Structure 1
Amino acid sequence: MLNSQFPISNYQLPKRSLYVDAWRGIACVLMIFYHLCYDLNYLQIVSFDFYHHPFWLNLRTLIVALFVGIVGISLQLASISGRHIPAIIKRLSILILCAVLISIVSFILFQERFIFFGILHFIALASVLGMFFLRWLWFNFICGISLIVIGLTIQHSFFDQKILQWIGLMTHKPATEDYVPFLPWFGVLLLGMALGKYLHLGGYLYAKKIRWGRQLIWMGQHSLLIYMLHQPILLGGLWILWYPYY
């Protein structure tokens, strides 16, 4: 691993950080575990209180925080490594398409509880806005903390309007199967961007190979595909296995 004693020039940087891929892979594993348990509960095979029990609430928060923070790190590294605009537009277009697909499918399955602003919707919007914060470290840190505090402490009925529910700051959580509001989560993304810049400047993110976690790295490099496919596979597989016992 490189360290802060050896300055890094952009032309030396690999296209990806294996460490970031591995961290994203860990988030994928936690997500799959969470949704496996959710599906077991949905099919009434077991009984878990996902809406009130601290374990499930905190686990979901951890998973979202990992994904959002890693998006912030990745945005910073993509900028530093000089990723071209067409590649960024292509990635963003795929994200938006997947987010729209999630909304359509969830509307078919859950009607009024459809996903109108879930994790993919948030990442798509935040990836665009994050481009305006690429150059800073401490400003992103301070701004990120501030937005988190605002998102967790300020509520007003004005934001209960459906057209504004994606922002957060509501007096109650909307009825939806997945909800990642702009506040406080954009603050988490800014913290990720600040962390990404700090780790880059210290040279802590770059290695040609690491001795652990090949499977995690693979999952991290295919996280969007895993996100889109894991639920149909899990839910379909469980339904097939459990159907004879209904």
Structure 2
Amino acid sequence: MTVFHFCFDLNWFGWLKQDFYEDPFWTLQRTAIVSLFLFCAGLGQAVAVEQGQSWQRFWKRWGQVAACAALVSIGSYFMFPRSFIYFGVLHGIAVMLIVVRATAGWGRWLWLSGALAIAMKWIAAWAIAGDPSLDFLNARAWNWLGLVSRKPITEDYVPLIPWLGVMWWGMAAGQWLLATKRKMLEMDLPRATAPLSWLGRWSLTWYMLHQPVMIGALMALKELR
């Protein structure tokens, strides 16, 4: 993610010439990164539920994610007023966390629910194409649901459909691992992975700080040139 964003920043400053919006080399990377985000978030919720995390603690963490999502919207508005982020990955995670936590007891049905959520991306596009009266779903007031036939103009877009399906699969996989492969989850990690473990514990902080730091550094470099 950090490398991807650094390349995006270089492109934004004019030091690269890449199409981050259409070129599969970049769009597929973004899909993989977001998928990993949401799958891991689902895994984390499985562990939290298994450990008996209270709703009070859940809402405290949720509030941090929601506040960071609001900051992303504000910051992106100043940088990209015409394509600011109004429902990006943190906005999506904030909503999906509530849904996934509320459906934690679905068990194996989480796999099917995830598959249906992902399939709805194409079903919705087909339905809108066949019935123009459904085109209102493409409007900003509704497109956060993901039942759209065209992607809105925004720098980051992670709607419920299809991405809720990925988080549901993460929850399902986490519950399966806890039930059948618990020892694998509880084993000690090699010391060499300590930096990655640190990043995992402070993932939200890293997510919020890495872009301002990189953009600030590139702006300073540009001024010095």
* Fold shared by both chains (TM-score > 0.5): yes
SS of equivalent residue, structure 1 residue 106: helix
SS of equivalent residue, structure 1 residue 111: coil
SS of equivalent residue, structure 1 residue 120: helix
The alpha carbon displacement at 1:139 in A equals 0.3
Give 5+ residue unaligned stretches, structure 1. Answer: 1-30
Partner of 2:20: 50
Of residues 170, 184, 196, the one that matches 2:174 is 196
RCO higher in structure (CA 8 A, sep ≥6)? 1
Partner of 2:155: 177
Partner of 1:165: 143
Tell me if the contact between 2:120 and 2:161 (Cα under 8 Å) persists in the aligned partners: yes
Which one-letter code corresponds to 1:188 in the other structure?
A: V
SS of equivalent residue, structure 2 residue 15: coil
Partner of 1:78: 48
Deviations 1:12-42 (A, max 9, x none): xxxxxxxxxxxxxxxxxxx100000000000
Query: Percent identity among equivalent residues?
Result: 36
Partner of 1:8: none
Which one-letter code corresponds to 2:210 in the other structure?
A: H
**Mean alpha-carbon deviation: is it higher for 211-220 or for 172-181?**
211-220
CA distance in 1, matches of 2:185, 2:160: 27
Are 1:111 and 2:89 counterparts? no
Tell me if the contact between 1:152 and 1:184 (Cα under 8 Å) persists in the aligned partners: no
Which one-letter code corresponds to 1:94 in the other structure?
A: Q
The alpha carbon displacement at 1:87 in A equals 1.7
Which one-letter code corresponds to 1:226 in the other structure?
A: W
Partner of 1:225: 205
Give 5+ residue unaligned stretches, structure 2. Answer: 129-134
Tell me if the contact between 2:38 and 2:166 (Cα under 8 Å) persists in the aligned partners: yes
CA distance in 1, matches of 2:106, 2:193: 31
Are 1:148 and 2:129 counterparts? no
SS of equivalent residue, structure 1 residue 238: helix
CA distance in 2, matches of 1:85, 1:110: 36
The alpha carbon displacement at 1:210 in A equals 3.4
Partner of 1:206: 186
The alpha carbon displacement at 1:211 in A equals 4.0
Partner of 1:124: 94
Which one-letter code corresponds to 2:9 in the other structure?
A: D
* Pairing 1:57-72 to 2, within 5 Å after superposition: 57-72=27-42
Tell me if the contact between 1:144 and 1:187 (Cα under 8 Å) persists in the aligned partners: yes
Instruction: Say which structure is richer in helix.
Output: 2
CA RMSD of aligned residues (A): 1.3
The runs of at least 4 consecutive aligned structure 1 residues that moved more than 6 Å come to: none
SS of equivalent residue, structure 1 residue 213: helix
Deviations 1:159-197 (A, max 9, x none): 112200101121211111110011000011111111000
Partner of 2:132: none
CA distance in 1, matches of 2:22, 2:92: 24
Tell me if the contact between 2:114 and 2:168 (Cα under 8 Å) persists in the aligned partners: yes
CA distance in 1, matches of 2:20, 2:75: 21
CA distance in 1, matches of 2:186, 2:138: 44
Tell me if the contact between 2:121 and 2:148 (Cα under 8 Å) persists in the aligned partners: no
CA distance in 2, matches of 1:102, 1:152: 28
**Mean alpha-carbon deviation: is it higher for 106-115 or for 65-74?**
106-115
CA distance in 2, matches of 1:82, 1:212: 30
The TM-score normalised by the length of structure 2 is 0.91
SS of equivalent residue, structure 1 residue 177: coil
